């Protein structure tokens, strides 16, 4: 389970990896660099789009387009031409915030978190876009992360990184919250900070842990299962991919690392690939 570089383009704040099942390609972001990047799953063709504002997460709409979350809206993005169309505004009237972690849910909705650009306490929120409307689910969030869903779609996971806890919440048949969130994993005793996460086909949750240089799996009951070390301290988010969904791609960041830290971890900011010994789930299509 050794991680190796999948793409050497270093991101200041790599995030939001998405495996497009119809294109067999990985898409991801450099949030503060305002870039959307992609590379064929075989390590072949690569692309790079400069957005002009912070962009952080995406879902796939069809073979040719994505739903992309930026600091001011959700956009339909045409992969071939680079054209974009804003579908709905996202805190567009608040220049102090930007989007962060996000993921499509099994019902075709899209969850997206916002946060202060300087991580101001409680400045963000978590929203769900569903069938043309954007609704706020949770408010007073500082750094939204770990958004992912159980295989049957009846449970969501999310975290506010500064709390050191990953939460879980039951969902109804249309994917809306059907009860109060509860603690799934409490990382505070270990001093760990939950970042992005994804769920495998067996219901295990894989969480990137900022500052710890590791990816940890938790069983469906929240018990720790295993951890994989990565060659970058600031790992940010995992995604399953490959033709059989047995590969994993993990983004990382250079943000917050001084020259000495970068000398110790020169691959920081790159996107890594590994074989975790588990199979992932096909990312759901976002229904616009």
The set of catalytic residues is 195
Q: How far is CA 73 from CA 112, 114, 272, in A?
A: 10, 11, 28
What's the rounded Cα separation, in Å, for the pair 146 and 159?
A: 5
What's the rounded Cα separation, in Å, for the pair 102 and 275?
A: 23
**And the tokens for 241?**
């991919």
What's the rounded Cα separation, in Å, for the pair 77 and 80?
A: 9
Give the torsion sign (CA, 220, 226, 230, 233): positive
The three-point CA angle 175-180-186 to 5° equals 105
3-state secondary structure of 196: strand
Contact 288, 254 (CB under 8 A): no
**And the tokens for 175?**
């994917």
What is the layout of strands, in order, in the sheet containing 247-252?
4-7, 271-274, 247-252, 235-241
Residues contacting residue 167 through CB under 8 Å, at least 6 positions apart: 157, 158, 159, 181, 182, 183, 184
Contact 253, 209 (CB under 8 A): no
Residues contacting residue 26 through CB under 8 Å, at least 6 positions apart: 6, 7, 17, 18, 19, 20, 38, 39, 41, 239, 241, 249, 271
């Amino acid at each position: 389970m050794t991680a190796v570089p999948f793409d050497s383009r270093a991101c200041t704040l790599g995030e939001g990896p998405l495996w497009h099942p119809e294109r067999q390609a990985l898409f991801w972001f450099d949030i503060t660099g305002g870039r959307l990047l992609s590379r064929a799953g075989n390590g072949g063709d690569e692309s790079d789009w400069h957005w002009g504002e912070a962009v952080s997460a995406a879902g796939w709409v069809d073979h040719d387009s994505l739903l992309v979350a930026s600091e001011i809206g959700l956009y339909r993005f045409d992969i071939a031409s680079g054209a974009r169309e804003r579908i709905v505004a996202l805190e567009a009237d608040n220049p102090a915030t930007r989007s962060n972690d996000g993921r499509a849910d099994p019902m075709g909705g899209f969850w997206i978190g916002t946060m202060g650009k300087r991580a101001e306490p409680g400045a963000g929120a978590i929203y769900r876009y569903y069938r043309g409307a954007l609704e706020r689910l949770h408010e007073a969030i500082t750094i939204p992360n770990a958004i992912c869903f159980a295989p049957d779609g009846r449970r969501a996971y999310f975290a506010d990184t500064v709390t050191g806890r990953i939460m879980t919440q039951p969902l109804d048949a249309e994917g809306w919250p059907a009860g109060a969130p509860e603690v799934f994993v409490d990382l505070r005793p270990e001093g760990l900070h939950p970042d992005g996460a994804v769920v495998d086909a067996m219901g295990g949750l894989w969480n990137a842990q900022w500052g710890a240089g590791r990816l940890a799996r938790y069983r469906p009951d929240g018990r720790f299962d295993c951890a994989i070390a990565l060659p970058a301290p600031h790992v940010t988010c995992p995604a399953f991919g490959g033709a059989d969904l047995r590969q994993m791609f993990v983004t990382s960041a250079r943000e917050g690392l001084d020259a000495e830290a970068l000398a110790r971890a020169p691959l920081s900011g790159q996107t890594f690939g590994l074989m975790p010994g588990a199979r992932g789930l096909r990312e759901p299509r976002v229904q616009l």
